[in-house]
């Protein structure tokens, strides 16, 4: 289900269906909050819309996930 959300969102971006794209990527994030790709895709769409605050939140989540992953590798 998650893969189909991401794939559908990517396709919608190509057709400039931004509101539907955001919905798909937000659902992907809800289904898998630890998947950095979903947050990255969402940040990209937010940038296109000029929604800087939402983009910053998505990028912050990616950094948090990256730091968490790096911390596990160092243990």
The pLDDT of residue 2: 75
pTM: 0.85
Domains annotated on the chain, with CATH = 2-74 (1.25.40.10)
Within a 10 A sphere around the Cβ of 71, how many other Cβ atoms? Answer: 9
Distance CA 48, CA 29 (A): 18
Predicted local confidence at residue 63, as pLDDT: 95
Does 74 score more than 90 pLDDT?
Answer: no
**pLDDT class of 45 with cuts at 50, 70, 90:** very high
């Amino acid at each position: 289900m998650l893969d189909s959300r991401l794939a559908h969102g990517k396709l919608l971006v190509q057709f400039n269906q931004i509101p539907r794209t955001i919905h798909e990527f937000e659902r992907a994030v809800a289904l898998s909050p630890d998947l950095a790709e979903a947050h990255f895709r969402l940040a990209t769409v937010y940038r296109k819309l000029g929604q800087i605050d939402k983009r910053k939140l998505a990028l912050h989540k990616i950094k948090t996930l990256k730091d968490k992953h790096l911390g596990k590798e160092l243990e």
